[in-house]
A = this chain, B = another copy of it.
Amino acid sequence: MNEKNNKPVVKLISKPENMLKTIYTACRTCYSADSPINIYENATDEEKMLNLIKNVVASGHHSTIEHIQVSFAISNVSRACTHQLVRHRLMSFSQKSQRYVKEKGQFDFIIPPTIEKNPELKTKFIDFMSEISNKYQEFIEAGIPAEDARFVLPNAAASSLVASLNLRELIHLANLRLCTRTQYEIRYMVKEMCRVLIEQEPWLKDYLVPKCDAIGFCDEHKPCGRKITKSELFEKAGI
């Protein structure tokens, strides 16, 4: 573990050259007698493009934003978190293999915040990571292959990966995982993915939000209080 950074590190490594124009062309192709090549070549008015995209996304026609895919390099994320992340089946992943990459010396690990903020528990945690590391190395030295020695490695072990997804799936991911009810690590990671993308494409700011911001109310089983709940909304409306 890098003491200075106990959190996922995210870098945007790839995005399409013509994000806005591509989505705009896709949206207009559905409803226009003009050819997509002409639409694309005549697309210059950025404000007009943004407005059309806003209307199309608001209307629920989300297939039009699948044409954009972005890729992130992610490191310093626990195997607990990656096991959760790779359940998003519309994403593409290339993850560091514990079968092929042997840990040399102390493996990197993530300390959960509830443990980190308690100095005593934190020390206990770090010491135990060191014990696990020793046990791993003992098995390696006894001739056990990395793919089997890793059976002692903990969920806390840090992993890294390249993850790609289209804009529709990214909005879905943000809607789900920016909710305050989400586990802190995946929430922080998704927040970072959104942040580094919005830095380069500021118009995405309004889309990469928790679900309650997108739909106007909270439909969680156990609401956090940030937004009116669905049942409160209906009650207030007298329905």
Residues in chain B near residue A90, CB distance under 8 A: 89
A26 at the interface (CB under 8 A from B): yes
Residues in chain B near residue A234, CB distance under 8 A: 216, 233, 237
Interface residue ranges of A13-32 to B (CB < 8 Å):
13-19, 21-22, 25-27, 29-32
- What is the minimal beta-carbon distance from A84 to any residue of chain B, in angstroms? 9
Task: Report whether A27 and B94 are in contact in the complex, using a CB–CB cutoff of 8 Å.
Answer: yes
Among the listed B66, B154, B237, which residue makes an inter-chain contact with A233, where contact means beta carbons less than 8 Å apart? B237
Task: Report whether B156 and A139 are in contact in the complex, using a CB–CB cutoff of 8 Å.
Answer: no
A119 at the interface (CB under 8 A from B): no
Task: Report whether B155 and A150 are in contact in the complex, using a CB–CB cutoff of 8 Å.
Answer: yes
Interface of A is mostly: mixed
For chain A, the bracket of interface size reads 35 or more
Task: Report whether A67 and B237 are in contact in the complex, using a CB–CB cutoff of 8 Å.
Answer: no
Given A13-B40, A37-B9: A30 and B100 within 8 A (CB)? yes
A42 at the interface (CB under 8 A from B): no
A230 at the interface (CB under 8 A from B): yes
Taken residue by residue from 95 to 115, chain A's Cβ proximity to chain B (1 for < 8 Å, 0 otherwise) reads as 111111101100001111111
Given A75-B36, A75-B37: A63 and B93 within 8 A (CB)? yes
- What is the minimal beta-carbon distance from A220 to any residue of chain B, in angstroms? 8
Task: Report whether B99 and A160 are in contact in the complex, using a CB–CB cutoff of 8 Å.
Answer: no
- Report the Cα distance A5→B238, complex, angstroms: 45
